[in-house]
Amino acid sequence: MSCPYFDPVAPRTHGARTEDSTLPLGDEWAGLCRAEPDQAHEPDQAGLRMLCNIGYARGACNRFPATDGPDAARFTLLEDNGTTLRLYYVLERDHQPHAHGALEYSIGRDAFLPAPPGECTPRQAAAYAQSYLRRKAESRSWKASR
């Protein structure tokens, strides 16, 4: 459940640690805080994993907005048919659904059709899809080398 205001830019560990596969976006990501949309902020290293990548930063992060918006984002894979990934997202507030919806990601176009709403949700969903596809390719490569 990553922070809903986290804009993932690039994988930090690229699956180097096995526990990274259980992170909300499938890898640990470096990125920007967009809690204040017109003032992108680069989080410090101490907060990046625990607050941005894992979420539920309300009350723990001094940049977290004092609104009734979501405090975590969750993604899951529904289907991979080889050309399209069907994902589902839930934005949570106090561990309860705040907003949710299905997403379709075109693997060939490297894009969602149609684009998800919001600024960070599409970027997080794309990070989740990229982590999944990277892991899938690594798994195939590992199996082929056996």
Q: What pLDDT, on the 0 to 100 scale, is given for residue 16?
A: 55
The more confidently predicted of residues 83 and 145 is 83
Of all residues in the chain, the percent with pLDDT exceeding 70 is 92
pLDDT tens by residue, 58-107: 999 999 998 888 999 999 999 999 999 999 999 999 889 999 999 999 99
Residue 9: is its pLDDT beyond 90? yes
Mean pLDDT, rounded, of the chain: 88
The burial class, CB within 10 Å (0-12 / 13-18 / 19+), for 75 is buried
Q: What pLDDT, on the 0 to 100 scale, is given for residue 98?
A: 92
End-to-end CA distance of the chain: 34
Number of Cα atoms under 13 Å in the Cβ half of residue 22: 3
User: What pTM did the predictor assign?
Assistant: 0.88
Write the CB contacts of 72 (distance below 8 Å, at least 6 apart in sequence): 1, 2, 3, 4, 24, 55, 56, 91, 92, 95
Q: What pLDDT, on the 0 to 100 scale, is given for residue 63?
A: 92
pLDDT tens by residue, 109-128: 999 988 877 889 999 999 99
Q: What pLDDT, on the 0 to 100 scale, is given for residue 53?
A: 92
